[in-house]
Amino acid sequence: MRDDAMKDRDDLDILLDAALATYADPGLLPGLTSRIVASAHGIDSRRRPVRWLPWAVLALAALVLIVALFTPHNLTHRTALPPVAQLSPRPSVHVPTTPDPAISIQPTAVRSNSPRTVKTLYVANPQQPLPRLEVFPTPTPLTSEEQALVALANRNLGDNTQSFARSQTQPVEPLRIAVIQIPPLNPPDNGGN
């Protein structure tokens, strides 16, 4: 009986070792290695664009900079325009002083912060663009009223300049300040206010 028990103990060890040997060995799944390598390859292919991404960003930034520098808007600003006096005379263009009825300028009442004042703003209708003149208007000669106004302004300016220059040439006399005499205060009479 005891020998049988001892034999069973040995059998148990053998059984246990045999079972343990197969416990963690189910047999390798077919294609496991290739699947892992393929997954790594997928990661690699996703990672590769990152390598040239900085260069692409730099190239794009440079392109944007070049486009911004050489746009027609900037070119027109950089071109030196001839002075107005050298321009050939152009036919005067009549600029209407009254609003064009084709342009609908709608008064818009805007209530300001003050409750009593209401400001009226004229806002052009954004759907109807402003009239575009074919030739930029050249300065027209001054009218007689404008010439008279200019002459008046120049004359007054000359008078003021002359009076100022005259005041500067005259010697400055020292100021004389009279001695200030302050009489002592008399005490109020008894019984008086």
Partner 1 sequence: MASDEDEEFAGLVKRQSPFVFRVAYAILRNSHDAEDAVQETFLKLYRSQAWRKIEDERAFLARVAWRMAVDRLPKKQPAFAEPESEPLSTAPTPEQEVIAANRHASVHCMIDALPEELRQPLALSAIDEMNSREIALILGIPEGTVRTRIMRARQMLKQKLAGLTEKRYAR
**Subset of residues 109 to 168 that bind partner 1, contact rule: CB under 8 A:** none
Among the listed ranges 11-19, 66-74, 121-129, 153-161, the one in contact with partner 1 (CB under 8 A) is: 11-19
Distances (CA, A) of 146 to 111, 143, 150: 38, 5, 6
The answer to whether the beta carbons of residues 140 and 90 sit under 8 Å apart is: no
Among 19, 85, 135, 172, binds partner 1 (CB under 8 A): 19
Six-digit token pair at 156? Answer: 């007054």
Q: Among residues 2, 3, 24, 185, which is the contact residue for partner 1, using CB under 8 A?
A: 24
Residue 69 lies near partner 1 (rule: CB under 8 A): no
Q: How many CB atoms lie within 10 A of CB 103?
A: 13
Question: Taking a C-beta distance cutoff of 8 angstroms, is the pair 148, 159 a contact?
Answer: no
Q: How far is the CB of 71 from partner 1 (least distance, A)?
A: 44
Smallest gap from residue 58 Cβ to partner 1 (A): 25
Other Cβ atoms less than 10 A from the Cβ of 138: the count is 13
Closest approach, Cβ 1 to partner 1, in A, equals 8
Rounded CA gap, 103 and 122, in Å? 12
Chain residues 29-48 in contact with partner 1, contact rule CB under 8 A: 29, 32-33, 35-37, 39-41, 43-44
- DSSP-derived secondary structure letter, 85: G
State which residue, 23 or 55, has the beta carbon closest to partner 1.
Answer: 23
Q: What are phi and psi of 10, to 5 degrees?
A: -65, -40
Applying CB under 8 A, among 2, 3, 6, 12 the residue interacting with partner 1 is 12
Rg (CA), the chain: 51
What residue ranges bind partner 1 (CB under 8 A)? 1, 4, 8-9, 11-13, 15-16, 18-26, 28-29, 32-33, 35-37, 39-41, 43-44
